[in-house]
Amino acid sequence: MAQKSLYRAHKVLRRDRDDGAILLRSGYDMSVVADKTTDWLAHFARETPDAVFLGERSGDGWREETYGAVQQIVSALATSLIARGLGPDKPILIISGNSVNHGLLMLAAQMVGVPTVPVAEQYALIPAAHPQLVHIANVTRPAMVYAEDGARVATALALPALAGVEKVSATKAEGMTSFSELLKGDTGVDLEATVGQIGPESVVKILMTSGSTSSPKGVATTHRMMCANQAQVADALPFLKTRPPRLMDWLPWNHVFGGSHNFNMALANGGSLHIDAGKPVKALMGTTIENILSKPATIAFNVPIGFAFLRDAMREDAGLRKAYFHDLDMLFYAGASLPQDIWNDLWQMALDVRGDVPLFNSSWGLTETAPAVLIQHEPTEMSGVIGAPMTGTTIKLIPDDDMRCEVRVKGPNIFKGYLNDAEKTAEAFDDEGFFITGDAMKLVDPNDPNMGLKFDGRISEDFKLMSGTWVRAGNLRLDVLQELAPLVSDIVICGADRQEIGLFIFPSPELLALSTEDVDGLLTCPNVAEQIRDRLQGHKTAGSSGRINRVVVLSEQPSLADGEITAKGNLNFRKIQTRRAALLDRLYNDADPATIIV
């Protein structure tokens, strides 16, 4: 079991209201909140100037920047931003992935109140996705755009939406300002005067929502939101204050979890963040493994598929197991529930290496909540629990008949509104000021809130069959994904206003190798049809809300350009079914040769 020094036991206060709502909050007081993220940088630049803060691969070694060096670099960059007239209404669009330069520019902008707008780098790299980049540019109206390699994204930088915007690159690129030019600073600028005008409510980051049900919206993120959230995390995980965390992390900074939660966790606690250029795909896992062996972490963040790849690699490599688990305080999964078999295997590996286990945990939150609102900070042996309310937050649960609850939240880490969108902002809050998250949860134990909550899907993903039966598509999808692995790369649960549930399958390479013919967008799969039927047999005895009756395999993978994939890499289920309406009709045609009747 995890060492008790790593965590605080859950302490949840519950109030049941006469209107049926359940209010949950932490029984612990919230600790002191920093005014600005750059206060952390200034503190550790004084106290531990030689400690490494940011690092990335450089040739055969590592480029590493200490707290003292980062403070100096960021101050110089900040003067260059002021000299160019950047400010609260003139943000910086960042169209490259994680890098030390990206982190330095982000902190410089936060120091002087210039919002940064980090976006998924595929929006710049893939011409078909440029409309998403244009939309973001039109929403945020940047005065500067930064690209690590300007030549690599030259087509995106030439878009009319970015005309007249200063382009900055870390590499030599024609017509662009060199990042090294910004590093020179500007001695004619009064940095102290500008910094003195920046406070907790200054907007310093604009993060785009995933756009899973509509176009991405800009979430105005303040110093207070990010600083409050790090205080809340440390309240639950006191070990962060006693041992500076070491992170080896790939999670993208255009997403709130990688760019606000993880980046700030290192910064707020005097820790280090080494950027992992690997990712949880077969082609890049070798890079991740090399980095783990080179710079072992004390906290491991990943998504379930990433942990699956690592589990498989560690089965064959005792040295990797030792490097991974030897000094690990916490293993943290995000994005979806970690399959229990992977959880169990990692747990046993940790026991074999060290005789105990790190804290296995997860949390829950959204871009609008900066991000964590719930966190599992007691040891548990069960995957899927996302925990208890963090200090300073209030959770409002609105139960339905089977105690599945809509979740609304309030607290100092919650945003005030969407950028330039008063209508969507008004719709986002109820009449008590709670943010309407759109997520559903269930109490693990209805009689004991200290057992925490489990995620139960997005309410917007739920739908009714023609019979009026509700289908909880989110949980059903997770079950079916496990049952059909490794034949599928992803799936879409279908059936709104139909008589029965159907399934769109996006095939994995394993399935593609076995399918025979593309019939106008659908693959015929006689070699695996029976296997698919067998794997879905467990749903035959389920009620109509969980019984999969028909399946088709799509020949075209989801399209980023057409909005079928969000910036987070998730599927936009509504867009997929709308764009492929003809294929949806074929799914419900028994005579279609590509339809598999279960």
Residue type, 592: D
Q: Which residues contact 413 (CB under 8 A, 6 or more apart)?
A: 224, 225, 226, 228, 229, 232, 369, 370, 372, 373, 392, 393
pLDDT of residue 45: 98
Nearest to 477 by CA among 401, 531, 546, 579: 546
Element (H, E) at 479: helix 473-484
Q: How confident is the model at residue 568 (pLDDT cuts 50, 70, 90)?
A: low
Q: Identify the pLDDT of residue 332.
A: 96
| Predicted local distance difference test score (pLDDT) of residue 214 | 56
Q: What is the pLDDT of residues 223-281, one digit of tens each?
A: 999 999 999 999 999 999 999 999 999 999 999 999 999 999 999 999 999 999 998 88
For the residues 392-414, what does the mean pLDDT come to?
93
Query: Is residue 285 scored above 70 in pLDDT?
Result: yes
Residue 213 has pLDDT above 60, yes or no: no
Count Cα neighbours of 562 within 13 Å in the Cβ-side half-sphere: 13
Using the predicted structure, report yes or no on whether residue 4 has a pLDDT greater than 80.
no
For 373-385, what is the mean pLDDT? Answer: 92
**3-class SS letters over 222-239:** EHHHHHHHHHHHHHHCCH
Most confident of 82-91, 374-383, 401-410: 82-91
**Four-residue CA torsion sign, 547, 549, 555, 558:** negative
How far is Cα 211 from Cα 230, in angstroms, rounded to an integer?
26
Q: For residue 374, what are the β-bridge partners?
A: 364, 389
User: Confidence band (pLDDT; 50, 70, 90) for 211?
Assistant: low
Give the confidence band of 540 by pLDDT, cuts at 50, 70, 90: low
Q: Which two tokens stand for residue 45?
A: 């630049």
Name the strand (E) or helix (H) holding 71.
Answer: helix 67-83
The closest of 560, 581, 468 to 211, measured between CA atoms, is: 560
Q: Are 97 and 252 in contact (CB under 8 A)?
A: yes
**If you average pLDDT over every residue of the chain, what do you get?**
93
The pLDDT, as a whole number, for residue 566 is 75
The pLDDT tens digits of the residues spanning 465-524 come to 988 888 888 888 888 988 998 889 899 999 998 999 999 999 988 888 887 789 999 999
37-198: CATH number: 3.40.50.980
Judged against a pLDDT cut of 90, whether residue 409 lies above it is answered with: yes
What is the per-residue pLDDT across 11-51, written as a single tens digit (0 to 9) for each?
999 999 999 999 999 999 999 999 999 999 999 999 999 99
pLDDT computed for residue 159 by the predictor: 97
Per-residue pLDDT tens for 110-155? 999 999 999 999 999 999 889 989 999 999 999 999 999 999 999 9
**Rg of the chain in Å (alpha carbons):** 24
Burial of 429 (0-12, 13-18, 19+ CB in 10 A): middle
d(CA 393, CA 410): 6
| Domains of the chain by residue range | 4-31+392-459, 37-198, 463-597
The answer on pLDDT for 531 being more than 60 is yes
Q: Is residue 530 over pLDDT 80? A: yes
User: What pLDDT was estimated at residue 567?
Assistant: 66
Give domain 4-31+392-459's CATH superfamily: Luciferase; Domain 3 (2.30.38.10)
**Per-residue pLDDT at 71:** 98
Query: How many CB atoms within 10 Å of residue 241?
Result: 13
- pLDDT at residue 107 is higher than 90: yes
Instruction: State the pLDDT confidence band at 541, using cuts at 50, 70 and 90.
Output: low
By percentage, how much of the chain surpasses pLDDT 70?
98
Specify the fold of 463-597. Answer: GMP Synthetase; Chain A, domain 3 (3.30.300)
Q: Write out the H or E segment, with its range, that includes residue 492.
A: strand 488-494
- Angle at 536 (CA atoms; ends 531, 538), nearest 5 degrees: 130
**Predicted local distance difference test score (pLDDT) of residue 335:** 67
CA dist 239 and 236 (Å) reads: 9
Exposed e or buried b for every residue in 137-147, given b needs 16+ CB within 10 A?
Answer: bebbebbbbbb
Dihedral pair phi/psi, residue 230, rounded to 5°: -70, -35
Q: For residue 385, what pLDDT band results from cuts at 50, 70 and 90?
A: very high
Looking at per-residue pLDDT, the higher value among 77 and 512 belongs to: 77
Helix spans in 252-366 (H): 256, 263-268, 282-294, 304-315, 318-325, 340-354
Q: Are strands 116-118 and 92-94 parallel, antiparallel or unpaired?
A: parallel
Residue 248 to residues 240, 258, 276, 341, 413, Cα–Cα distance (Å): 16, 11, 6, 24, 25
